[in-house]
Structure 1
Amino acid sequence: MRVIICGAGIAGLTLAWWLRQSGWDVLLVDDADGPRGDDHMVHLTRPGYDVIARMGLIAELRSIEHHIPEITYVRRDGQPRGRLRRPAFEATLDRREATVMRGDLEQVLRTALNGLVTIEFGTTVRVVRQTADEVGVVLSDGTRERADLLVGADGLRSRIRRLVFGPEDLILRPLGYETAAYKFKDDAIDREIDGRFTVLSAPGRQACIYPLGDGLLATSLAHQTVDRPLRGNASTLLHEVYGDMGWIIHDVVSHCPAMPLHNQVAHVDLDRWSRGRVTLVGDAGLAVSSLTGWNTPLAMASAFALTVALYEQHDLRTALNSYETAMRPAVQRHQSIARKAAKWVVPRHQWQITTRDALVAAAGLPSLSRLLRPVMTRASKSIAPL
């Protein structure tokens, strides 16, 4: 059996590894010139962690893990509103989790693929044609390829989804926010945050700054969508949106590169993730919300679920139906939660910021941590389909 996977991100790399282990011939293509090295932090909760464990990569995962001693929510003057120290928030989580940079996780997966699958960077799918017996594609270099299955693992702006399922405006459901992330160095900012994961919120905007070690810092920014034409590039927009937030944020934004990682927050709304011999994994079909941190665990879980379905079912249609049966309930549930949660992740009103930060401060109390643990554990388990 042969598969063509379009997209060498978390979902595509994970799927390529599992299908190769199952005996498939794998062609993995990606339109980027090389590894992207995404500059944002992800919290790999139980579904993703369990997939990594099954791959035998826990030691590699732990080697790239970032230990955050404290999350501090601050006011405009930099004074703390609430603190969540690591023992307190760890008590609310399943121990099978890790906080890593997404680019580092991709590198772990690429290394695991060495000698198994070659990634064809600078190449993507231009044309898709299906018959009852096979799927054919024309690649961007003019090469024609045939396979038993084509998988779109090419992210929220999936080319495969657009070619096979239809235009983005009929499928993507924006949640009204945008995000950006980048790394930088600044000794004064490093001293100011003092090893903490620090969060400053203003109505419709949130800035997170955190240390990566050796003087390297990272920021993750999220804001309510700006409904006006963008003047210049993404860096210009970030200066306009965040420049007046106060504290050290003006200096943080001054380090913004010309082309930071900049994404719309949206989820995908499809009745089915498969059409004939084409299916979707990860954000291409199952995107929930980049604000919640569920996209990466779901990407890995979807790749594993598809592999299991293809292994257990000899008929392709039955296998793809089984894959959807395993994953869809969790995706729909978490899309619903994400729509409601966005207003608390990036509050649009000052009273919401005040309420959230008060809850954060209370969560540091041992008694409340014990109460929260069953809730957080159920949330993690609910997206572990297998």
Structure 2
Amino acid sequence: MRTLFLSPKLRWVFLLILTLSPILLVFLSFSNTASLKDEFDQTSNDRVQQLEEAVEELQKQLVEEKDLEKDLTDTLKKYKKIIIKRSKAPAPAPTYEGKILDCQEIDRIKITQNIAQGYSKVVQEGQLGDKYYAVKSASYEVKNVKDCVNSGKYKKREDCFILGSYQVLKEAMMLRQLQHPNIVRLLGLCVRSENSSPLIHERGVTVVEELGTPVLLHILGEMIFRSKVEVCLDLARLLHYLVDTPLGSVAITDWRDEQFVLVAGEMKLADVDGLNSKEPPCDKDMKCLINDLPSGLKCAQNMECPGTNAKTNLLHARTHFLQPLLGSGIPIEFFKHTSNLLQDLDKANLDAEDLVERLEDLMKFIDSYTQPPPLDIAKDYQY
């Protein structure tokens, strides 16, 4: 067996290495630990910074959400009253999808009497079976056709009659678009030609509508107070609808009482061919006027005055119906409510929606006041 021989110098080097190796190991271990500690400290600092940034971002989002919640709460509060008021308003009229009378059915209508001869059409009463209708058609005897013939604008007399037929047809088209419980319903339409004839089956254009009793203001004035309020409420609901229709905001241009009828006690607009869905223009100073007076409305970019039609309707309704019907003969117990309503309307403090609500409240007050108290029956009463 060979023995490992080390020289004295190598022996001393080897012994020195063995002696110092624990110290080197400790030093290397300390160095690695310090390095790991530095790395851990750096990682910890980075993580803390990330957490701080995340917390800061969450706090920022929380503030934004609180602001958004506040805005939503304010918006809900703002529209709460409007939602409540609109919930009290009458529901929109259902679209009339029923079948209307065609030419063959209209030909069987028997004309029973003449009702009226207006500016643009003749109105007659017609009967079909057990039902009665208002039958409207053009005639050479109506004013606009007569004026056209007398002016000599057209060589042919028949050309002027086309104008009358157009007015009748326009009314039918308006009734197809404007459907509301306080506007008469279109029940029949026949378009054949431009002919004029006393015979219904030979007429060019015939329109059939609900038949009602013409409104006469002096007759309405003789009704009991509750019935007057009911008529005014019908009118207010109509104005509320006309503020925003499929045609836009619509103005009633003819406020004669004969433009309205009573159908089963309900007031309805019977003549719609004269309605106007265009808002009036601003004046040269970009002001919106009603009856040459400032209206409080602003001129729009298209140089029209939005809201004028609605305000004008309220003004005419007060003058022609509300004031005459509610302004006199008020029972003392309803005087305060009624006079306050008229004053607010006169000061332009009410819009059509407000008017509906105030009249509904007045109706409820009248009914609660006039309702008889319940019978006080003794408990020991023997039946």
TM-score range, shorter chain: under 0.3
Which of 1 and 2 has higher RCO (CA within 8 Å, sep 6+)? 1
Bigger radius of gyration: 2
- Provide TM-score, normalisation by structure 1: 0.23
In terms of fraction of residues, the more strand-rich structure is: 1
TM-score (norm 2): 0.23
